[in-house]
Structure 1
Amino acid sequence: MKKILAFAALLFSGLSFAQSADINDYKYVIIPEKFEFLKEPNKYNLNQLTKMLFEKQGFEVYYPNESLPQDLNANKCRALYGSLEDESGMLSTSLEIILKDCSGKELYRSAKGKSKQKDFQKGYYESLRNASADMQANLNYKYTGKDPMGAALASQQTPTPQAAPKPAEPAPVAAQPQQVVNEATLFAQPITNGYQLVDSTPKVVLKIYKTSQADSYTAMGDGKNGVVFKKGNEWFFEYYQDDNLVSEKLDIKF
């Protein structure tokens, strides 16, 4: 009988957590290395781009096989789980950005990002860009500093005298990109929803596409896909190369 009551208490504790969870209480997001609708890990660089999109929102984002912060490694339910859902049809590509908790409960789903591009890679990029614009406008994420697991447990327990606070754990260090300077001057030529960056040859080096945030673009070119953004008065192109983050300084003339 005691075992049954203990199990019931745990069950109701879990239900309380699922009902009271708030996206803003989560610090971490875990995304898979391969989405279910694709046959290869990081196909079209969609996983890396999705990771960057969540980082841009303010989350700390990890792949499952990465070294995780101590508190997250102790309990994976401290993270939300991000994914993309392919809703494509015969005539268009469509992606939705989804966040679930560790029990599989859906806490966020973006509007469908759609594209009529016939090329798969371009179609997925445009769809993801449109879905991310909706996320930027409507998710409104701001971390509260709370522990979602701690809040759930506290609601089920009788208050007890607090022990002396433990020293705060050092915050995880952000990835340190490899710094690169591109000496070539690039000239921005308007295209639909963005610009193509052309060197003096002239050759199209990058195509950059607008996001909902000023001076921030998704970027495609020569197998290097990432984000182009302005910091101060300078432009940077950040992308992953052989699993290493690269920050390339650009000289862009608009």
Structure 2
Amino acid sequence: MKSKFLYLLLLVSSFGFSQSINDYTGVIIPLKYDFLKSENQYRLATLTKVNLKKAGFEAFYANENFPGGYNDRCSLLNVDVIRDNGFLVTKLYVVFKDCSGKEIYKSEVGKSKEKEYDVAYAEALNMAFESVYALHYKYDGTPAVNNGYTGMAAVPQGVQAAPAGVTAAAAVAVSVPNSSTEPDGSVLFAQPIKNGYQLVDSTPKVVLKAFKTTNPSIYMASKGDIQGTLVLKDNQWYFEYYEKDTLMSEKIKVKF
């Protein structure tokens, strides 16, 4: 009985670690971490990329145009740097997640007693990456499996369609705000999720979720509490929804 239990434990452990960082072709770096006030403050995004390259990863900033062979977002990891609470000590650790937000690896905590933030953050981050170096990353050629993506499915419960009688063709004569979904007009990146995609900005923050229908040019979509549709017209995506009795349409720049 004991031997059977040990065998089961080993089997479960093997399955749990079957998805490792070696299954991913590279890493996406956000321009701003949650504990910072501005993009690349204290040059932490730059320092993250330097460390990732040193550890053997192909690394890209979230706003970069990725070269050929790296366009599948789920073949890439998303890296984040987390600040831990510490009295008179700066503590940082690194987290790698897949495109559905599942944690793949978390580094050891790097520490620094330096008083100046730029020095302390750099020292703590470099120390945290020591455990990443120890992984001896090397892409093994095994494609990462996105367990959250299952293909075509029914519209999820709670997502409402546009009122009857309103079609994509009728959406031409609507109120169109001047700005896109993002105030600066930046591109949103599509990450596969169950039944569709989540559109994230360069933070990365989820801005909009889109769910598949039987028409590949129309998705049921939600943006916060707003329910609507994501529609492809003339090679351009629009998020359309009702505001009181007025049909609104926002141009969305999406990179799939």
TM-score using structure 1 length: 0.49
Which protein has greater RCO, CA pairs closer than 8 Å, 6+ apart?
Answer: 2
Structure 1 or 2: more helix by fraction: 1
TM-score using structure 2 length: 0.48
